[in-house]
Structure 1
Amino acid sequence: MMTLKQHFTSSFLYLLVAAVFGFFLRLAATPFSWDIIGNYKYVVHAHSHVALLGWVYLGLSSFIVYFFIPKFKNRNHYTKIFWATQACLVGMLIAFPVQGYAFVSILFSTLFLIVSYVFSGFILRHTSPELKPKKSFSLIRHALFYMVLSSIGPWALGAIMATLGKASVWYKLAIYFYLHFQYNAWFVLAIIGLLVFILEKSKLKIETTSFTKFLFFFHTGIIGTFFLSTLWTTSHWTIYLLSNFGSLSLWLGLFYLWKSIKKPLHPLYIALTPQSKFILKIIVFVFVLKLIMQTLSGIPYFAEIATANLDVVIGYLHWFFLGVISLFLLFFASHLEWIKLSKFSISLYLIAFVSTEFLIFYRAGIVSFNWNYLPNLNTYLALASLIFSLAIISILLQTLLERNNRHKCISKTD
């Protein structure tokens, strides 16, 4: 039977696949484009689905099961859920590059949603009774709620395509609904829940009053900031009001979260390795800048720029996905010793992240602010994207080498 560490490794392989897809997508915009890319939009669908559902979903679910489900109880049940998830992912991985959104890919996507509901029910039902009153489980429960809520978007797409067509504003709104509650709710709350679990496991007290305020303001902020995704449809003042109220609520919520965990977090932070401290600082820095960008998008001037420039949206989504979510998963897996992170591999990853983001936003600036055109920009962007694949391969090889060395040491001891 596969261990949860191996389950996580499988999610890591999906990250590699997503990175390779990303490289070929960038390459398609250069003079060196290969016909191997096939239909560009089809590969974009495969890239996004593998990244979100193969890498992040499987990675987070591995951590959640590891922490909240008893080791010698109900694991067989989860194994069935895991393999059902894998079947759906492999089906999407094959179908999307071949046919895009069509019968087979929609079938596997639909089955994935159903399996994710089963997973949510499994966690809610089989979490250890002593963990259910914990603040960490409350966060995981809320995260799973938003994961299920986000699925309204994909369910609605079929009906919208059949009745209104892809040109309808409701088509994009359904996609933005899904992405918003995935990125800003399910992913973020799951990450915070895992961090809070570590604090509770160390028997460090989290201040309850501030934590309760955090939950209230954060939930309010999640709902309110969804309207930022609708500003391209209308400039009515009520939408701006709701959007900015949501942004303010998020800042207040995170202030109270910091207030509730600041004291218990300090001794654990001191105990981290210098590399782990560095990665954690990067994650916090990128997350704060993400919130600043999100808040600015509630101002009409910046909202118009984001609406008119696809690179701004792509850069923002990648900034959060690669700089916060993915980097946290790497950090957490390294903390659990599920993967081996070296200075070389993490440096490669950060070089790829910084260079791709700089080039994407610079390209956005060429359109929005008439910045000077950078010759061969798309070629540089493709090369920077290739570094992601090299970084991931480096981490995989170092992890496998570390495991082989451990097995040899154990064999010699025996």
Structure 2
Amino acid sequence: MQRSFWLKFSIFNFLIVALLGVTMRYKILYSMPFLDQKHLQEAHSHFAFYAWITNVIYVLILNYLSKINSAINLKKYEKLIIINLIASFSMLGTFIYGGYFWASIAGSTTALLCSFAFFFFFIRDSNKIQDTSKIWFLAGLFFAVISSVGVFNLGFMMMSKTATQDLYLASEYYYLHFQYNGFFIFSCIGFLLFSMKQVGSAISEKQNKLIFWLLFFGCIIGYGLSVLWMKMPVYVFAVIVVATIGQTIGAVMLYLFVKKNWTNLVLKWSPMHRFVLMYAGFAFAVKIALQLGSNIPALNQFAFGFRNVVIAYLHLILLMCIATFLVNQILATNYFTITKKLLLGVKLLLLGIFLNEFILGLMGVFSIKYISIPFANEMLLLVSVLMFASIFWIFINLKSFKKT
């Protein structure tokens, strides 16, 4: 399996995600009666999660396995990647057509079953691996599996017409939490630590485990932050606060480890590689700070009470932190020729993502006083076009220079 092809195909999928984003932004301003906005949103989120991010993570994990132990048979993983992509494209069509119904649920179930199988195979093969990144990938894949409970519950409620507002939101946030803060973030940390190890900046076993367990339990218990609007005993709230503080300590320790090794990274990594790491790291730091702050009931009510704030927060993690980090990881595989044209596309993408986050953030802040920003939707449409154009530019300039 030529991994350079599948990584470039992931960028193509990212392009489709951006096109759906442009379409939704356009539809807010202008009439497109033949498309349902809710169905577009469902197609957008599912395709982004499975065809773009999950696919990149799967292929990069294969790359990791091939480097750490070349004796591991990767054929079974390659088949799962293909099945996941077929399921993703079926979800793209079925969600746009009719939202949640038997065909779209079948597609999402297939993709989830792929994650179960991938996790099972990785557990079995990881017995042959002694490496600090292993536990991060195991945890990430574990979170991908348990997030499925939210999707199955959502699908059941939508099919049976038994959804209540609280149950619907609790299931949706459960799925999103363990995908964003679990599967995506833990996988990215695994890639970061392995990349640093490859250039001579390996983390110690003791420090790695301490950071891992602080973030792991922080993620498990941190789901409670998403449902603070539900009535819960004081002692449960206290546990959530302690777990969030622990997660913050773990994140600070990770930052200090990277900072300690920065001189070596300056020598070994390109300026763009380092800049994107700082860019994604800044988004991760803001995410951790917002999580810590959301323990304050008034702030939590604000965060989940305004749609613009929720969208800004989700984009902060998915775009500014995870997507940029993964694009950086794709370029760092040495499968592609890094040209000035390619780097221009990356710079424009970073600019587009920053502007998108800035406008959404402003809309969120001003919505406290119910003030609308003039031409905000027009600006967001232009920014979404900029992101689409930059991803297209990256795609056409992403050229493989060696077979893998």
TM-score (structure 1 length as normaliser): 0.89
Cα pair 2:47 2:92 within 8 Å, conserved: yes
What residue number does 1:287 align with? 284
Cα pair 1:65 1:123 within 8 Å, conserved: no
How far apart, CA to CA, are the structure 2 residues paired with 1:85 and 1:356? 29
How far apart, CA to CA, are the structure 2 residues paired with 1:255 and 1:46? 36
Q: 1:329 aligns with which of 326, 329, 335?
A: 326
What residue number does 1:276 align with? 273
Which moves more between the two structures, 341-350 or 15-24? 341-350
Deviation string 1:113-163 (CA, Å, 9 cap, x unpaired) is 11221112222223482xx22111122112111111111111222344466
Q: Report how far residue 49 of structure 1 moved.
A: 0.5
1:136 aligns with 2:107: no
Cα pair 2:356 2:380 within 8 Å, conserved: yes
1:102 aligns with 2:101: yes
User: What SS does structure 1 have at the residue aligned with 2:54?
Assistant: helix
Distance 1:205 1:9, change over 3 A: closer
User: What SS does structure 1 have at the residue aligned with 2:133?
Assistant: helix
Q: How well do the aligned residues superpose, as a CA RMSD in angstroms? A: 2.3
User: What SS does structure 2 have at the residue aligned with 1:135?
Assistant: coil
What residue number does 2:4 align with? 5
1:167 aligns with 2:156: no
1:377 aligns with 2:357: no
User: What SS does structure 1 have at the residue aligned with 2:398?
Assistant: helix
Deviation string 1:222-258 (CA, Å, 9 cap, x unpaired) is 1221111001223754454233222201111123334
Gaps of at least 5 residues in structure 2 are: none
What residue number does 1:229 align with? 226
What residue number does 1:157 align with? 154
Cα pair 2:283 2:316 within 8 Å, conserved: yes
Cα pair 2:100 2:159 within 8 Å, conserved: no
Distance 1:244 1:270, change over 3 A: farther
AA aligned opposite 1:92 = M
Cα pair 2:248 2:292 within 8 Å, conserved: no
- Count residues with an aligned counterpart: 398
Cα pair 2:265 2:274 within 8 Å, conserved: no
User: What SS does structure 1 have at the residue aligned with 2:354?
Assistant: helix
What residue number does 2:363 align with? 363
Q: Report how far residue 288 of structure 1 moved.
A: 0.6
1:19 aligns with 2:18: yes
Deviation string 1:269-305 (CA, Å, 9 cap, x unpaired) is 4321112221111111111111112221111121111
What residue number does 1:34 align with? 32
Which moves more between the two structures, 286-295 or 97-106? 286-295
Q: Report how far residue 166 of structure 1 moved.
A: 2.3
Cα pair 1:224 1:244 within 8 Å, conserved: no
Q: Report how far residue 198 of structure 1 moved.
A: 2.5
Distance 1:76 1:162, change over 3 A: closer
1:83 aligns with 2:75: no
Cα pair 2:65 2:72 within 8 Å, conserved: no
Which moves more between the two structures, 332-341 or 137-146? 332-341
Q: Report how far residue 266 of structure 1 moved.
A: 4.2
Q: 1:313 aligns with which of 310, 322, 343?
A: 310
How far apart, CA to CA, are the structure 1 residues paired with 2:394 and 2:204? 37
1:380-391 residue pairs with structure 2 within 5 A?
A: 380-391=379-390
Bigger relative contact order (CA 8 A; separation at least 6) = 2
Cα pair 2:211 2:251 within 8 Å, conserved: yes
Q: Report how far residue 41 of structure 1 moved.
A: 0.5
1:201-240 residue pairs with structure 2 within 5 A?
A: 201-202=198-199, 204-234=201-231, 237-240=234-237
What residue number does 2:346 align with? 346
Distance 1:215 1:202, change over 3 A: same
Q: Report how far residue 202 of structure 1 moved.
A: 4.3
Q: Report how far residue 82 of structure 1 moved.
A: 1.9
Q: Report how far residue 77 of structure 1 moved.
A: 2.4
Cα pair 1:208 1:260 within 8 Å, conserved: no
How far apart, CA to CA, are the structure 2 residues paired with 1:351 and 1:397? 19
User: What SS does structure 1 have at the residue aligned with 2:397?
Assistant: helix
TM-score (structure 2 length as normaliser): 0.91
Cα pair 2:8 2:398 within 8 Å, conserved: no
Distance 1:8 1:231, change over 3 A: same
How far apart, CA to CA, are the structure 1 residues paired with 2:142 and 2:271? 35
Structure label with greater radius of gyration: 1
Cα pair 2:84 2:111 within 8 Å, conserved: yes
1:299 aligns with 2:296: yes
Q: Report how far residue 361 of structure 1 moved.
A: 2.1
Which moves more between the two structures, 317-326 or 194-203? 194-203
Cα pair 1:23 1:385 within 8 Å, conserved: yes
Which moves more between the two structures, 212-221 or 41-50? 212-221
Distance 1:159 1:95, change over 3 A: closer
Q: Report how far residue 364 of structure 1 moved.
A: 2.2
Deviation string 1:178-235 (CA, Å, 9 cap, x unpaired) is 1111111111111111122233344544223322221221122112211110012237
AA aligned opposite 1:301 = A
1:236-251 residue pairs with structure 2 within 5 A?
A: 237-251=234-248
User: What SS does structure 1 have at the residue aligned with 2:28?
Assistant: coil
